[in-house]
Amino acid sequence: MLYIGVSEWSAEQITLGAELARELRVPLISSQPQYSMLWRVIESQVVPACEREGISQIVWSPIAQGVLTGKYQPGAEPPAGSRATDDKGGANMIARFLRDDVLTRVQNLRPIADDLGISMAQLAIAWVLHNPNVASAIVGASRPEQVAENVKAAGVTLSEDVLTKIDEILGDVVETDPRRTVSP
């Protein structure tokens, strides 16, 4: 049996694609959107459409290109060799998050991670995985030890109080506009 998945499709595209997949008898089983604490554009339309169609999310960039690790500091130059200094495209993707208002709020998440005894990256990944429609998170890593650390997020449960605190801290720096789904 063959299966198909889509990436960065809008809710309407997913609904139409699922209908076509049923006609062709090739199961559409996954959606691969960008999703993180900072980039939630899939929540209001894509996730509900996928739930109706029996499709789950395999999300990418759960740590927002490294921003949610806390390594980028407000008012400071990005660390040398980081994605933000990659002139081959990485810097363009991360630029939207490298504003002092965003970076300050990300730094304010550190006490939550510390209280839970986890890293900032683990907090970000655990947050993504708390969404019941997320089947998996694609985590980019530049070193094997990052993979070893990030996988520990799979066992972290976040309470409703923690989730509420995260939302309060991040506030209006979170992108939620569903029209951004197809134009990151």
Other CB atoms closer than 10 Å to residue 99's CB: what's the count? 12
Looking at the predicted structure, is the pLDDT value of residue 10 above 80? yes
Tell me the C-alpha distance between 7 and 28, whole Å. 12
Q: Convert the pLDDT of each residue in 40-71 to its tens digit.
A: 999 999 999 999 999 999 999 999 999 999 99
Residues near 43 by Cβ (< 8 Å), separated by ≥ 6? 176
Looking at the predicted structure, is the pLDDT value of residue 80 above 70? yes
Looking at the predicted structure, is the pLDDT value of residue 89 above 70? no
Are 68 and 38 spatial neighbours (Cβ–Cβ below 8 Å)?
Answer: yes
Q: What is the mean pLDDT of the chain?
A: 92
Say which residue, 91 or 163, is predicted with more confidence: 163
Q: What's the gap between Cα 120 and its chain centre?
A: 13
Structural tokens at position 52: 């109706």
Looking at the predicted structure, is the pLDDT value of residue 77 above 90? no
**8-22, 30-44, 56-70, 138-152: lowest mean pLDDT where?**
138-152
**14-28, 44-58, 124-138, 142-156: lowest mean pLDDT where?**
142-156
- Per-residue pLDDT averaged across 140-163, rounded? 92
What is the three-state SS of the chain?
Answer: CCCEEECCCCHHHHHHHHHHHHHHCCCEEEECCECCCCECCCCCCHHHHHHHHCCEEEEECCCHHHHHHCCCCCCCCCCCCCHHHCCCCHHHHHHHHCCHHHHHHHHCCHHHHHHHCCCHHHHHHHHHHCCCCEEEEECCCCCHHHHHHHHHHHHCCCCHHHHHHHHHHHHHHCECCHHHHHCC
Looking at the predicted structure, is the pLDDT value of residue 183 above 60? no
Looking at the predicted structure, is the pLDDT value of residue 184 above 70? no
